[in-house]
Amino acid sequence: MTPAARLSAAIDILADLAVRRRPASESLKDWGLRHRFAGSGDRAAIAGLVFDTLRRRASAAYVMGSDEPRALVLGMLAVMRGLDLDAIARLADGSRFAPAQLSADERTRLADPNLETAPPWVKGDYAQWLDPSLARTFGAERVDEGRALAARAPLDLRVNTLVAAPDAVLQELAHLSPEPGRFSPLALRIQLDTEGKAPPLTSEAAFVKGAVEVQDEGSQIAAILAGPMPGAQVLDLCAGAGGKTLALAGLMDNKGQLYAYDSDIRRLKPIHERLQRAQVRNVQVRAPRGAADVLADLEGRMDLVLIDAPCTGTGTWRRNPDAKWRMRPGALAERIAEQARILADAARFVRPGGRIAYVTCSLLDEENGAQIRGFLESHPDFSVVPPLETVLALGSRGLGLRAAALESAEGLLLTPRRTGTDGFYISVVRRE
């Protein structure tokens, strides 16, 4: 396919999204099934166009004066990819399979894609209704934080020390040009190509034998700051597919007992194969069984309870750019109520002197510090472990993390702009 034909395909897919309001990955998959002549390179390039447009949807619409799919794609080429008017006109020249020629109005707008007078949510490319929440967290810096969230994310890997050492994996994957992580001693980072295409990692021997897992460096940091110790009793209360469960098991060196639970048994389905591949032996998966309390025997016994809380996912917009436009205020209210319930339930498992590590991939204080403040009001026997103490789990790198992150009385907030990771909030509280 020509670059112009790929552009037309991206416009068609965005039109489908506008009508059917579903995840972009589903529309891309359907398009690929209907256009089997398109090779893997074509599909990757089209996906890159679609996701880049969603990343900069607000600013592209502002520049073009329209939120129609064609306008959004053309605007993205200017505001994100930096193409000038002539370059865009060569793509949209009206030839076979190419978008129609630029109109006079489109040419005028693309000649000067200026955002200087745009409101913050346009410059930062996020929904207007989220502006007050982001302003409470970041103030005037919310535009820069939003722009960082609108950039592409790299591919981050976590070395599984149960199988291999970081230096050995770095050498084994040298052909992918990985770089050591900035803060996590277990992280390797692979930059994607110019079209955002990731290498076929799951076919690599290092992945097949369990030496690496795909995991953002911020998620790795959250597991490390939780402070799981070899030989400890640990409960991963929202284990899901097991990403942080695997990280905890590695940090515990397969010693002690780690319980993995999730309220939705369907989310636990991938964890069994992942545990086996990673050579994890100290995890016991607990699945819900009707009205039975399958965790009752753990009450008052846990050294650590990890809550990887369900949240709005605002910190993962780099990887899920369509999610920020599908999110609605009602979803935030539901998540806040759910988080409060999970925090209250977690307290019953913690022994005296034990800890709860509360983690979200959200940037909103309503889901982060406010939840911890509310929990402490109703649980006076808990107190915050100071962030300075928490970051020491990273050794000397921890001080660098503390300086880069946004620190509050309750915890640390990592962001793409500040720490180069996805957005993660980490707070640790201890039972006196």
In the residue annotation, 361 being an active-site residue is answered as: yes
The one catalytic residue among 9, 92, 361, 405: 361
308 has binding-site annotation: yes
Joined together, the tokens standing for residue 20 give: 């059917």
Report the candidate in 129, 174, 127 with the shortest Cα–Cα distance to residue 146. Answer: 127
For helices 40-55 and 57-64, angle between their N-to-C axes, nearest 10 degrees: 70
- Is 236 annotated to bind a ligand? Reply is no
Known binding residues for S-adenosyl-L-methionine are 262, 308
Active site residues: 361
